Amino acid sequence: MVSVKDLQDVVDDLKGQASKRANDLLEEGTKRANELFGEGKTEVRRAVGGHSDGAIVGTLALGLLLGAIVGAAIALLFAPFPGDEARRRLSESVEKVRTTEPAAKAGNGSTRPVSTVGSTAHPAS
């Protein structure tokens, strides 16, 4: 005669095997779906004449570099004063910042005025 405990062990064993099999199938399905999705993206890009991810990043970097060069050239061409004057004004601005810098470092680094509340003793009443 088969006991209830033996039947329960068999059922638990079958549950464990079924659970493991379901997890394995789920992992395999997810893996295949991701592979197909990746291939699908590549196929869609190729079909519409798109570029690969590497080409897109390279094009972006090249565009940023060329934009910086063109911007610098335009800034030099349309400067309101000659190069010597621009360098002199830039030097003066740097010196102004340098002279005010130690005063800023003396505080806590904040640009807001320091509060004096509580710094003086109150008269005893």
pLDDT of amino acid 118: 62
pLDDT of amino acid 47: 73
* Sequential pLDDT tens for the chain (125 residues): 778 888 888 899 999 999 999 999 999 988 888 777 777 777 777 777 766 767 888 889 999 999 999 998 898 888 888 888 888 888 898 898 888 765 555 556 666 666 666 655 555 55
In a domain, 95, yes or no: yes
Tell me the pTM: 0.34
Domain match, 21 and 58 both? no
Domain match, 58 and 101 both? yes
Domain match, 67 and 101 both? yes
Domain match, 83 and 42 both? no
Angle, vertex CA 38, rays to CA 33 and CA 42, nearest 5: 145
Q: Which two tokens stand for residue 67?
A: 């934009």
Domain match, 77 and 32 both? no
Q: What total number of domains does the chain contain? A: 2
Q: Which residues of 49-85 are buried (b: 16+ CB within 10 A; e: fewer)?
A: eeeeeeeeeeeeeeeeeeeeeeeeeeeeeeeeeeeee
Domain match, 77 and 96 both? yes
In a domain, 19, yes or no: yes
In a domain, 97, yes or no: yes
Domain boundaries, position 30 = 1-50
Instruction: Please state the separation of Cα 18 from the chain's center in Å.
Output: 43
pLDDT of amino acid 68: 94
